Amino acid sequence: MQLLLIRHAESENNAKPVHNRVCDPSITARGRLQADCLGKWISGLAIDQLITSPFLRTLETTRSILQHAHTAPRRYPISVWHDVFENGGCYHGHHEKNFTGADGLGKTAIHTFFRDIAAQFPDHEPPPVKLDSEIEESGWWSGRDRESPEEMSERSRGVVERFERTFTQQPGDEMLGTRDGPVVVLVAHADFLREMLFHMLFGRVAMDSIGPIPNTSVTSLQWSTMGWKLTSLNSVTHLPPRLVTGHQAMLS
């Protein structure tokens, strides 16, 4: 399996002071340009599975990837995973004294989002979208408080194991992709991707050498029976210098 870890395009929270953050921001005008560049670059890849978090900023980044597909959206089967969200979950507030949980997008809202994308294609065929059963109608984070750092670390470990379990090619299996395994893309968040890399590369790479994760940057890893191998880190070659953001601080 080849796994591409991609941070979402610049969000309104990335571009504003922390006290102005909202629970589920859209991407900015600059973020839309970043996502457009990412979509053009990634359209040349043969992707077998595209996975995104249920946050709006990751869904909007994913939209640009679909819009630049050379064929119908079904070229990129999409899964929305409930467990690849950013550190803390979906919440209001900017300080531990005023944190309160927010619902996040619900099942129908996410399906409608992808149907609206399909309306832009000549055949109006929606992409094949599968949502985790944990994403409820009331919202994917409904009824929960802010997640703790310890819970986030444990969750990221579980997600790494989920990738290994879901996409590892066993002898005799007929899986998507080539004989080397499928090409899988995950669109997620800076802090969460960093935590995933910590578990994937534990003991082999010093995490303080990785640096900030820029918006729409691409990190590539290869999985084999020997474990995870890092093949590229935080690449932004698809972006002109004026569009590189998030490279000076770790922002979600």
Q: For residues 149 and 12, is the Cβ–Cβ distance under 8 A?
A: no
Q: For residues 252 and 191, is the Cβ–Cβ distance under 8 A?
A: yes
17-31, 34-48, 55-69, 170-184: which range is least confident on average? 170-184
Q: For residues 9 and 60, is the Cβ–Cβ distance under 8 A?
A: yes
**Res 62 pLDDT > 50:** yes
* pLDDT the model gives residue 70: 65
Distances, alpha carbon 163 to alpha carbons 20, 97, 184, 203, 227, in Å:
35, 35, 9, 20, 12
Domain spans of the chain, in order of start: 2-243
CA dist., res. 85 & res. 216, Å (int): 16
Q: For residues 114 and 121, is the Cβ–Cβ distance under 8 A?
A: no
Q: Using one digit for the tens of pLDDT, what is the confidence trace for 194-246? A: 999 999 998 787 777 788 999 999 999 999 888 999 999 999 999 999 999 99
**Res 252 pLDDT > 70:** no
What would the mean pLDDT of 58-64 be, rounded to a whole number?
A: 95
CA dist., res. 57 & res. 35, Å (int): 10
Q: Using one digit for the tens of pLDDT, what is the confidence trace for 74-122? A: 567 899 999 999 999 999 988 878 889 999 999 999 999 998 888 877 7
Topology annotation, domain 2-243: Rossmann fold (3.40.50)
